[in-house]
Amino acid sequence: MSTSENRIREDIVRLSRSLFERGFSVGSAGNISAAVDDGILITPTNSSLGFLDPGKISKVTRDGRHLSGDRPSKEIFLHKAFYETRPQTGAVVHLHSTHATALSCLSEIDPDDCIPPLTPYVVMRVGHVKLVDYVRPGDEKAGDLIRALDGKYAAVLLANHGPVVTGKDISSAVYAAEELEETAKLLVMLRGLPTRMLSDENVAELKSVFGGY
């Protein structure tokens, strides 16, 4: 096992524990993966993000064949689809965080942009967020739904399920997932109140200055 892979395993454990301890994940909910030179590392099925063992993190090939570690998360199809369609993806974070999941259950949100530009950082770190139709957890159809997006979205909300966020590495994916959850919390708090969103010009300026993932 390479030094870089060991470091990524430790990063997955450290950041997963941080998410768990701060309430972004409960029980055995959620899964995190990261790309390595010869495959994908992903948290094992039915494991708690708060109590991972770096040596037991599952390793699979890019086509999903199990190589080592515990059995991979049943959501591997979802993760694999992001790596296939967004070559710049270095990590994928899927959580059941409270407020983002609450938004995923609302019937009136815009399915093509379900996290509107409320703050600069959601624009800079997350971008447009697509609502993806419900399928049961672990269904291979989830991968098909992600592939159908042709890599256009770095983050999605799975209807009645929760957020999936990607990044160029594990840290950036976790930071983006946190930003999405905090923005979702603000949106839930502001429901029914007159709300000022960033303008198209504001969004364009942010993208021009800071770029986008």
What's CA 171's distance to the chain center, in Å?
12
The residue whose two tokens read 């609502």 is 131
CB 41 within 8 A of CB 9: yes
Active site residue 75: yes
DSSP 8-state code for residue 179: H
The tokens describing 117, both together, are: 């530009």
Q: Given 5, 10, 21, 75, which residue is catalytic? A: 75
Residue closest to 132 by CA, chosen among 140, 124, 142: 142
Q: Given 83, 84, 121, 178, which residue is catalytic? A: 121
Q: b/e for 41-56, b at 16 or more Cβ within 10 A?
A: bbbbbebbbbebebee
Active site members? 75, 121
